[in-house]
Amino acid sequence: KDIGGLAAPKRELEGLIFALKSPDLHFRWGTKPPRGVLLYGPAGTGKTLLSKALARESGAVFFHLKLNNVVSKWRGESGELFQEVFSVVKANGRSVLFLDELDALSIERLFLPEEARAAGGRLVNTMAENLDDLDDTGQNMVVASTNRIDAIDPALVRPGRIDRFIEVGLPEAEEKAEIFRIHQAKAEARAGRKLFLELQYDAIITRMVKLSGADIAEIIQRALEEKVRLEGSGQE
């Protein structure tokens, strides 16, 4: 309920909650629980929020791996780090491993020098092997995210690996209003008092194109900071 809009992705995630909580249901019907999904869409649309909600709602431990940071800092050593992360994930029972910015593993983005491309290829292979090595108990689920689906290495999204794609798009007008309300209500809950007047969303939202949930959260944050500034300087 903290996530506005996104009815279709939420519905898909509900199925995944089932799979994580009761993988035996899949086995009873002779099918395997999904292991990996890819959430794709513009930045700030709620992909991280959805992944965390999946973990929370299914009582799973949440691991967040920011691949961009890993790859830029660890470079050639990233493979060993992946290995270690996967073994920690597997040792933790029911868990969600969030692979943030999976496109960071695409060969053309990895390392520029020629000799390093081989290292990049090895990195993709290590990730793919680790995905293959997840056991079939349905305890561990990998959720990857990207805002560049075109740059995902095909080896990572083969059947049996990260093989379900869920689009997480920018909110429509009604959804924007819902996200505004969610963030206003959160601020009011933190402050323990009413802070906002009833807003005529229609009047402002139609003027806001390409607005993400993160942008809306930022608008609320800035508005409140302005209030803090005014009160702090004795103007309110």
Residue nearest to ligand ADP (CB): 213
User: Which CB sits closer to ligand ADP, 111 or 180?
Assistant: 180
Applying the rule CB under 6 A, the residues between 180 and 209 that interact with ligand ADP are 182
Compute how many other C-beta atoms are within 10 angstroms of the C-beta atom of residue 235: 7
User: Which CB sits closer to ligand ADP, 2 or 202?
Assistant: 2
- 49 is a contact residue toward ligand ADP (CB under 6 A): yes
Residue 123 and residue 115: Cα distance in Å, rounded? 13
Identify the residue among 45, 58, 95, 106 touching ligand ADP (CB under 6 A): 45
Nearest distance in Å: CB 1, ligand ADP? 10
User: Which CB sits closer to ligand ADP, 36 or 44?
Assistant: 44
Neighbour-count burial of 225, counting CB atoms closer than 10 A to its CB (0-12 exposed, 13-18 middle, 19+ buried): exposed
Applying the rule CB under 6 A, the residues between 131 and 190 that interact with ligand ADP are 145, 179, 182
The interface region with ligand ADP, picked from 40-48, 101-109, 117-125, 157-165 by CB under 6 A, is 40-48
User: Which CB sits closer to ligand ADP, 19 or 166?
Assistant: 166
Contact in structure between 38 and 12 (CB atoms under 8 Å):
no
C-alpha dihedral sign at 58, 61, 64, 65: negative
**93's tokens:** 């029972």
User: Which CB sits closer to ligand ADP, 129 or 167?
Assistant: 167
| Pairing between β-strand 61-66 and β-strand 95-100 as defined by DSSP bridges | parallel
3-class secondary structure, 141:
strand
Cα angle 146, 214, 170; round to 5: 60
- 214 is a contact residue toward ligand ADP (CB under 6 A): yes
Nearest distance in Å: CB 172, ligand ADP? 11
Residue 227 and residue 212: Cα distance in Å, rounded? 23
- 220 is a contact residue toward ligand ADP (CB under 6 A): no
Listed residue (39, 18, 40) closest to 29, CA to CA: 18
C-alpha dihedral sign at 161, 142, 100, 10: positive
The interface region with ligand ADP, picked from 47-55, 122-130, 156-164, 227-235 by CB under 6 A, is 47-55
Residue 41 and residue 102: Cα distance in Å, rounded? 12
Nearest distance in Å: CB 4, ligand ADP? 4
Identify the residue among 8, 11, 24, 43 touching ligand ADP (CB under 6 A): 43
Residue ranges in contact with ligand ADP by CB under 6 A = 3-6, 43-49, 145, 179, 182, 213-214, 217
